[in-house]
Amino acid sequence: MPEKIVQLNEEVIKGQIKELVRGSCRGTIHVGQLKKKKDEG
């Protein structure tokens, strides 16, 4: 059975992780703001 060889570009992966985290944080902040408005209104 042949071995699979995978080549990873560390800089590309770091960039993608940063974008993923940034998007996740924005979503979390947005949900928190909506909940705060609902609680206040």
Residue-level pLDDT at 19: 96
Q: Which tokens in the block code for residue 31?
A: 């949900």
Alpha helices in 1-41 (DSSP H): 10-40
pTM of the model: 0.61
Summarize pLDDT for 2-22 with one digit per residue, the tens.
899 999 999 999 999 999 999
CA dihedral 13, 16, 20, 21 (to 10 degrees): 60
Residue with structure tokens 């993923």? 20
Alpha-carbon distance of 16 to 1, in angstroms, equals: 32
Q: Is 27 a residue whose pLDDT tops 80?
A: yes
